[in-house]
Amino acid sequence: MLEEFYEIKTKDIMTPGWNTPFIEEDADWKEFLTILSVSAHAWVVNNTKNMKVVGVVTEHDMLRCIIPQERKKERIFGLSRPDILHVESTVRDIMTYNPVMCSPEDSMEDILKKLTTFNIRRLPVADETKRLVGEITLQLLIKNLRYRFMIQE
């Protein structure tokens, strides 16, 4: 059964683009705080016309911006950057650039290798032009695997 699971293509189980959290890279602090208040992450795109993936913004990125300077040495979730969050801040200021991506044609084996190699929980699914077409998450893989085990009983 696992061998069959490894062969599944990303496009067959991914969350489609219309249901994937995303935000434009020049969105202001109100927009990115709003989206992070309802989603743990958002894929950052250059604009809503091209939808080219340029980064990801996560709760951890925000945490780095709000860690007090005196706690900087603790390096929780990376280097502290409290000086960059201000009224003129945009997503571009706090996002993580160039996220690891996958293609709709990648197999679950490919996805699992990327998730474990880079120690991440989610990947944007992008076409050959880096246009966001969906996302694949560890939680989605687990749900799919659970479903497959249940139908085997």
Give the whole-angstrom CA distance, residue 141 versus residue 125.
14
**Helices 138-152, 108-117: crossing angle, 10 deg rounding:** 140
Q: Is the pLDDT of residue 75 over 80?
A: no
Give the whole-angstrom CA distance, residue 37 versus residue 35.
5
What average pLDDT does range 143-153 have in this prediction?
Answer: 80
In percent, how much of the chain has pLDDT > 90? 65
Q: Which of the two residues, 141 and 86, has the higher pLDDT score?
A: 141
DSSP-assigned beta bridge partners for residue 16: 134
Q: Is the pLDDT of residue 72 over 90?
A: no
What average pLDDT does range 101-130 have in this prediction?
Answer: 97
pTM greater than the 0.95 cutoff: no
What average pLDDT does range 81-95 have in this prediction?
Answer: 73
User: What pLDDT shows up at residue 45?
Assistant: 98
Give the whole-angstrom CA distance, residue 57 versus residue 47.
15
pLDDT digits (tens, 9 = 90+) for 5-14: 999 999 999 9
User: What pLDDT shows up at residue 148?
Assistant: 79
Give the whole-angstrom CA distance, residue 96 versus residue 92.
8
Output the average pLDDT for the chain: 88
What size, in residues, is the chain? Answer: 153
User: What pLDDT shows up at residue 2?
Assistant: 83
Cβ neighbours of residue 57 closer than 8 Å, sequence gap 6 or more: 23, 32, 35, 36, 41, 42, 44, 91, 94, 95, 96
**Alpha-carbon torsion angle 119, 73, 39, 139, nearest 10:** 20
